[in-house]
Amino acid sequence: MSRKLVVRMAELEIDPDQLEIYRLLLTEEIEASVALEPGVLSLNAVSLKDSPQKIRILEVYANQAAYEAHLQTPHFLKYKNRTVGMVKSLTLIDVDPIMMRGKP
């Protein structure tokens, strides 16, 4: 199994009328993913200050297998199914980490 990290940036635009429920569903999905999946190293979601409907998520997975497994989990599938009508656009960008550090 590959040990190479998978790091992605997701750029989303959410229907403003559904933003509050979207944020709740996203929070629930991130909490479950980090708690239940050893291969999900971090998920960090932010919104643009002047455009709260524009969400950015930095995703870090232990490897490609962990990323692919994440896509099949019940909590991720629930999130995808419940938010499908809320997401106006989604762009996934593969990125190479330069330096990533954090404190527990």
Cα separation, 78 vs 40, in Å, equals 17
Tell me whether residue 61 is in a domain: yes
CATH code where residue 21 lies: 3.30.70.100
Residue 54 lies in domain: 6-94
Which pTM does this prediction carry?
0.92
In the chain, how many domains are there?
1
């998978």: which residue's tokens? Answer: 6
For residue 83, the model assigns a pLDDT of 98
pLDDT digits (tens, 9 = 90+) for 85-98: 999 999 999 999 99
Cα separation, 26 vs 32, in Å, equals 10
2: Cβ contacts below 8 Å, ≥ 6 apart: 63, 64, 65
